[in-house]
Amino acid sequence: MTSRVVPAPDALIGRRFDVAVAKMLGLSRSKAAELIDAGQVRVLGRDIARSGSLQDGEMVEIDLPEERETPEPIAEDMPVVYEDEDIVVVDKPVGVAAHASVGWSGPTVLGSLRDRGVAITKLGAAGREGIVSRLDVGTSGLMLVCKSDLAYTEMRRQFAEHEVVKTYHALPQGNLVQDRATIDAPIGRAKVADFRFTVTPAGKPAITHWDVMERFGEATLAKVNLETGRTHQIRVHFSSIGHPLVGDPMYGANPRLAEELGLQRQWLHAMQLEFRHPRTRLWTTVTSPQYPADLAHALDMLRARGQRPAACGQ
């Protein structure tokens, strides 16, 4: 038997402990309760009953049989866009998680960097060392990881105080009415389903700015800047104004359109990071060199569809 310590997943904060454990391990709630009662799953630093609530920042320790421990796969195709003694910025492919978590058996940014011999600071929560911002598994693009203690302390501050300019390219479904606009609407957990978020007065402040880059009629390519960094913020905000991201059925996108465009995930890419370098203090801009193949193919398909001649009588 070995033990594994993982951060409490953001999507499970505030949930009953037995429900959270069931989701993390892919078990029934009764089986999760048995593991908690047996002391095989616990929260570090405090006693928690199965009915207790999982809190933000807590670490969950889980006893695992030896045979469940398998080597983590490596993201061999994850490009490094920028690197120096303090930071490394990767162009994260879709299907790669930021860090290891219970229930995730795929590659991670941290594991893949360490496999390449990149030294990461030890600062940060266990399992999340060096990470000051994350991308969802289903979102590709730039992600910054800190190599030095100095970088971690300073970049964590910059992200927390919203000094970092984060630019995404997104493909909302339909034709956005305005060329430029701001969505200012609080985001909180949705009550209708696990792992979903929604615009709600009880949520945390969230501000999204967008500018239209290209119009296709059935979809609109937009440049998006975030003032805040809520979970699923871009996806939730565009869905809230009736324009879910293409390929995002969780938030209301048309699955048929995604299928026609060859998309198996939401069209969203973290395109650029702008920040003050933690050591030199120079303003630094890092840009993703190109869209991933599936996103580029979807745009090509939309352009081709827009060039088709209209049928007779239309």
The pLDDT tens digits for 9-25 are 877 888 889 888 888 87
Residue ranges and CATH numbers for the domains of the chain are: 2-68 (3.10.290.10), 80-305 (3.30.2350.10)
| Distance in angstroms (rounded) separating the CA atoms of residues 230 and 23 | 21
- Neighbouring C-beta atoms of residue 234, cutoff 10 Å: 25
From residue 99, how far is each of 66, 147, 240 by CA, in Å? 21, 15, 29
Sequence-separated (6 or more) residues with CB below 8 Å from residue 177: none
**Predicted confidence band of residue 164 (pLDDT cuts 50, 70, 90):** very high
What is the reported pLDDT for 292? Answer: 97
The pLDDT tens digits for 76-94 are 999 999 999 999 999 999 9
Is there a catalytic annotation at residue 136? yes
User: Of all residues in the chain, what percent carry a pLDDT higher than 90?
Assistant: 65
Residue 192 pLDDT > 90: no
Average pLDDT over residues 224-249: 95
What is the reported pLDDT for 1? Answer: 57
From residue 248, how far is each of 88, 134, 188, 268, 275 by CA, in Å? 29, 19, 18, 10, 29
Average pLDDT over residues 158-182: 96
What is the reported pLDDT for 311? Answer: 40
| Distance in angstroms (rounded) separating the CA atoms of residues 204 and 233 | 11
Q: In what helix (H) or strand (E) does residue 37 lie, and over which residues does it extend?
A: helix 29-37
Average pLDDT over residues 110-131: 92
Catalytic residue among 63, 115, 136, 211: 136
What is the reported pLDDT for 2? Answer: 72
| Distance in angstroms (rounded) separating the CA atoms of residues 222 and 239 | 14
Name the pTM for this structure.
Answer: 0.79
Q: Rounded mean pLDDT of the chain?
A: 90
The pLDDT tens digits for 26-67 are 777 888 888 898 888 999 988 999 999 988 888 888 886 654
Average pLDDT over residues 238-256: 96
Which residue has better confidence, 222 or 308?
A: 222
Which range is least confidently modeled, 97-101, 260-264, 284-288? 97-101
